[in-house]
């Protein structure tokens, strides 16, 4: 079980507004103090959304890194909502706040993606059934590794 997801925050006000107002997440906890590791004052704001805790850290002097060229949705946090109605409510919340998002429709239903002010992508979908155990999982990974191994 994952305890929490941690991500940097580059704008504490925009981050708080996004999570609390736009997504409707609950501010679960907040801490501020000196970080000897970062040599700066920091703020940790912990938001709870769909049973997951997302911890967002900001500190004095934090700088947003340059884009690395990876596809925009390769790094994301996938959250499951219980019902179709919950997903529709999230659509409505995003529309009410004029938040940019995109959707993908797959065999397992609709997936909604929204990017927070820090570049973290949140994926929301109806709770899918867990992956079935695949007897060939090891073979799939091994074949990929062998195919991409340097000669």
Flag whether pLDDT at 132 surpasses 70: yes
- Measured from the Cβ of residue 90, the count of other Cβ atoms closer than 10 Å reads 22
Cα distance between residue 83 and residue 106, in whole Å: 16
pLDDT, one tens digit per residue, over 87-102 is 999 999 999 999 999 9
Contact between 62 and 117 under an 8 Å Cβ cutoff? The reply is: no
Residue 150 placed within a domain = no
Cα distance between residue 127 and residue 147, in whole Å: 33
pLDDT at 151: 66
Residue 33 belongs to domain with CATH number: 3.10.180.10
**pLDDT over 70, % of the chain:** 99
Residue 137 placed within a domain = no
Structural domains in the chain (count): 1
pLDDT, one tens digit per residue, over 43-88 is 999 999 988 999 999 999 999 999 899 998 888 999 999 899 999 9
Banded model confidence at residue 130, pLDDT cuts 50, 70, 90:
confident
Domain range for 109 is: 5-126
């Amino acid at each position: 079980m994952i305890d929490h997801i941690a991500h940097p925050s580059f704008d504490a006000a925009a981050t708080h507004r996004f999570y609390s107002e736009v997504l409707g997440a609950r501010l679960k906890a907040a801490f501020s103090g000196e970080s000897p590791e970062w040599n700066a004052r920091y703020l940790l704001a912990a938001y709870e959304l769909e049973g997951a805790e997302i911890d967002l850290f900001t500190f004095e002097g934090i700088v947003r890194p340059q884009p690395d060229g990876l596809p925009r949705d390769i790094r994301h946090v996938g959250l499951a909502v219980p019902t179709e109605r919950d997903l529709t409510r999230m659509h409505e919340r995003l529309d009410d706040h004029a938040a940019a998002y995109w959707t993908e429709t797959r065999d397992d239903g609709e997936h909604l993606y929204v990017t927070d002010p820090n570049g973290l992508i949140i994926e929301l979908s109806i709770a899918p059934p867990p992956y079935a155990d695949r007897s060939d999982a090891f073979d799939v990974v091994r074949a990929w590794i062998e195919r991409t191994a340097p000669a």
